[in-house]
Amino acid sequence: MMGDFNIRDSLWDPSFPFHSLISDDLIMIADSFDLALSSPTNPGPTRFSDTVGESNSVIDLMFLRYGSAELDNHSILPDSHLSSDHAPLLIDISIFNEIIHTSKLTINPKSEQETEFIKDVISNFKTIDTSNIEDIEKLEQVANLLGSIVDQAWSKNAKKSKISKRSKQWWSESCSQALNTYRTARSLKNWKSFKKTVKDAKRSFFDKKIQEIANKSQGPWELMNWIKKRKLPATEVIKFDNRPCLTPESLWNALHSSFNTVLWDA
C-alpha cells in the first residue's frame, strides 16, 4: 500500500518536530491489513516545494506485508521526479520462474474410462509373481512394478483436458454427451435435456462434497465463510511521552524509563 498520504509526522520525517494522532490511526489501519510502515533505504524528502521559505517534506509512504520474504525496504528516487513535485518510490518484486501446466490427464468418476482403467489395473496386477519376495530389494521391485502398471493404465485411459478459469469439477461425461446431442440437433427439447443434466450433475457433485466434509470433521458449518481465519481488530498502540512505540528499541526504552522512575520514586 503506497501513495501520497499528505500527512507530515516526525515518525517518518526527522525534519518535522511534531507527531499527529492521525498518524497513529493510519498505522493501526495498515496493521489491520497485516501491513507495516516501510523505511526507505535512502531517507530523504518525497515532496519538493516550489514555494520560497517552505521546506521539503516526507508525505509519500509505503506499507509492506509483515514478514514478507519477497519484499524489502523501498527506495526514494529524488532525481526522477521530473516536472512533478513528488519523488517516485521504488521497490523490487522478485519473480521466480514457474512452469504452469495448461492441461492435465483426467478420468471422470463413473465413466467408461474409469471402468477400463480399473479392469486394466486388476488384470495386470494378477500377472505379478509375489511368491518370491524374500528381501527388501525384491519388495521394492514389486512395488515399482505396481506403480508402473497404474501409470500405464492411467495414461492409456485418461483423457487430456485443458485447464482454464472456466474448468468445472462437477462436469461429468453425461454433461458432455448431452451437450454434443444438443449441438447436433439444435432443438429446444435437447437444450432442456442438457440443462437438466447439468443441474443434476451439480447437485450430485456438491451433495457429495457436503457429505465428505460433514462425515470427516462432523462440522458442516466449515462450509460457511465465517469459519475461516479472521483478522484481529486494530488495537491501541503503546505510547511513551506521547509517542507511539513502534519498534523493539522504543518499547525497551519505554519499559526501562518507566521502571527506573518507579524505583527512584520508591
pLDDT in tens, 51-75: 888 889 999 999 998 777 678 789 9
Number of domains the chain is built from: 2
Residue 188 in domain: no
Is the confidence at residue 230, as pLDDT, over 70?
no
Distance between CA atoms of 173 and 157, rounded to whole angstroms?
A: 14
Residues 176-226 have pLDDT tens digits of: 888 888 888 888 888 889 889 989 988 888 888 777 777 766 555 555 555
Using pLDDT thresholds of 50, 70 and 90, give the confidence band for residue 263: very low
The per-residue pLDDT of the chain, averaged, comes to 82
Residue 213 in domain: no
Distance between CA atoms of 255 and 161, rounded to whole angstroms?
A: 62
For 87, how many CA atoms within 13 A lie in the half-sphere containing its CB? 23
Question: In this predicted structure, what is the pLDDT of residue 188?
Answer: 86
Same domain, 77 and 145: no
Q: Who's near 130: CB < 8 A, 6+ residues apart?
A: 142
**Domain around 40:** 2-96
Contact 49, 85 (CB under 8 A): yes
Q: Which of 48, 68, 96 lies at the terminal end of a domain, its last residue?
A: 96
Question: In this predicted structure, what is the pLDDT of residue 76?
Answer: 94
Residue 63 in domain: yes
Question: In this predicted structure, what is the pLDDT of residue 118?
Answer: 93
Same domain, 69 and 108: no
Q: In this prediction, what percent of the chain has a pLDDT beyond 70?
A: 84
Alpha helices in 158-247 (DSSP H): 173-185, 188-217
Distance between CA atoms of 180 and 182, rounded to whole angstroms?
A: 5
CA angle 24, 27, 30 (to 5 degrees): 150
The string of DSSP letters for 66-111 reads: TT-SS----EE-GGG-TTSSB--EE------------EEEE--TTS
Same domain, 92 and 7: yes
Residues 155-176 have pLDDT tens digits of: 898 887 766 555 677 777 788 8
**How much is the pTM?**
0.40
Q: Which of 162, 181, 212 lies at the terminal end of a domain, its last residue?
A: 162
Same domain, 12 and 92: yes
Is the confidence at residue 264, as pLDDT, over 80?
no
